[in-house]
Amino acid sequence: VDALLGDTAVADPAGDEPAEELLARGGAILMLECVEGYTQTSPVDHAQAGLALKALAALHAAAWEDTALLTKAAERLQRHGGSFSLSIRNPKELTKINDNWSRFVTTFTPFDPELFGRPEILKLGERLETWCRWTAAALSLTPTDKFATLMHGDLKAMNVFLPAAPDGSVDVTRPGFS
pLDDT per residue as tens digits for the range 106-136? 999 999 999 999 999 999 999 999 998 888 8
In this structure, is the dihedral angle defined by the CA atoms of residues 140, 146, 151 and 154, taken in order, positive or negative?
negative
pLDDT per residue as tens digits for the range 49-103? 888 888 889 889 999 999 999 998 888 877 777 666 777 778 888 889 999 999 9
- Cα separations in angstroms, 27 against 2, 10, 63, 67: 19, 12, 29, 30
Q: What is the mean pLDDT of the chain?
A: 80
What is the Cα–Cα distance from 36 to 168, expressed in whole angstroms?
11
- Confidence at residue 178, expressed as pLDDT on a 0 to 100 scale: 39
Strand partners, 39: 162
Query: What is the reported pTM?
Result: 0.60
CB 31 within 8 A of CB 1: yes
Say yes or no to pLDDT of 6 above 80. no
